[in-house]
Amino acid sequence: MSTNLIEILQFLQRCYATYEQKRGRGRPFMYSQASMTLFFMVMAIKKIYSFKAMTKYVKQHYADFGFPKAPSRKTIRRRFLSLPCCIHWLLPEVVRQCQELDYSTFRCSWAFVDKSVFRALGGLWHKKHMLQGIVPHPSIDTDASWSKSPYYGWRFGYGLHLVCLQNRFPVAAWVTTASLKDHSQMVKLVEAIKEMVGIVVGDAGYRCLKVIQLLWSEFGILLQTPKAFTTYLKKPFVKWYNSMIQVAPAKLLYRHRKPAIEPLFALIKHVFDLEGEKQLPYKGIDKVSAFLMIGPLTVQLMMRDNFIHHRDWASTESFLNAFK
């Protein structure tokens, strides 16, 4: 095991310490959350996707991840499918640990949110067949759905919802089928970072009065979008919100959204070889969610490593070499 991987494992163990304490009673894990998380990161970077291939690999390298023995194929599958909830909890904890390194660099006073659609594995399920309940080819992923991207047009697949800082450091993530509205996942995204962030900036897809009011009343978080509401103008909250997003600092903050979050999606796609029209390696929302959630966590750890060693935050070579 390389020195860098040992450092990553030790850092993940510190992050998961709180999780283990909250877990309370119950049989302890034979394979720790930190070790399993690192294992699946290595598998994703090495492009080892099938559980059979993972089982074969871990039989030879189980000691590298601190495993007492090689986990079975059944265990690997079960722990892989549990990743989304674990990583959803872990991402804000990584932020807190990084804030101890340098609070000014990793502070979350404001953040940016967006969704990117990843193309599903297999054939396309056209809407006319979808409405009729007809699956014309067995390769079609029936959990995937359609969404329109301003860059790629209509795309059939899954959506990765991300919240990041101005320096492109990811702080929260979740995965859904592509057709779900951008604003529908805002509560899920901010619930874990509600004590750290005050303003979240999104594009026009997040302009939903019900969601904006909920975030403000429940968490004290302002969800800022570029356009004012043209209805319900007599409501005090709408008047206040429209005036808030029109001030110069709010407009300046919105201009930082695109340069912050879109390069982050590009970086994740580059690291996991998902650029352009390349398809995801899995079918089904459970497996796709686990795979895509590994992306923001990997970038978090990579950026932290680059920060510690005074490298460019978007540099991938030094970090990824440790996984080869």
For the domain that residue 210 is a member of, what is the CATH number?
3.30.420
Helix (H) or strand (E) holding 254: helix 248-255
Same domain, 52 and 121: no
CA torsion 254-259-265-267 (nearest 10°) is -160
Same domain, 137 and 224: yes
Residues of the chain with pLDDT under 50: none
| 324 domain-assigned | no
pLDDT, residue 3, reads: 63
Give residue 12's domain range.
3-81
41's tokens: 């990161």
Choose the final residue of a domain: 46, 81, 116: 81
Write out the DSSP string of 135-164. ---TT--TT-EEEEETTTEEEEEEEEEEEE
Distance CA 7, CA 246 (A): 46
Same domain, 243 and 116: yes
Q: What is the total count of domains within the chain?
A: 2
| 186 domain-assigned | yes
Distance CA 67, CA 55 (A): 13
Choose the final residue of a domain: 81, 96, 116: 81
| 216 domain-assigned | yes
| 277 domain-assigned | yes
Same domain, 247 and 146: yes
273 Rama class: left (phi>0) / alpha (psi -120 to 50) / beta: left
Same domain, 127 and 47: no
Question: In a 3-state reduction of DSSP, which class is residue 179?
Answer: coil
Question: In a 3-state reduction of DSSP, which class is residue 214?
Answer: helix
Same domain, 40 and 112: no
Same domain, 75 and 127: no
Same domain, 123 and 209: yes
pLDDT, residue 48, reads: 97
Distance CA 239, CA 237 (A): 5
Same domain, 37 and 111: no
Same domain, 129 and 46: no
Same domain, 76 and 110: no
Write out the DSSP string of 23-36. H-SSPPPSS-HHHH
Closest residue by Cα to residue 146 from 160, 123, 127, 131: 127
Same domain, 132 and 260: yes
State the residue for tokens 């495993």: 67
DSSP 229: -
Distance CA 251, CA 227 (A): 10
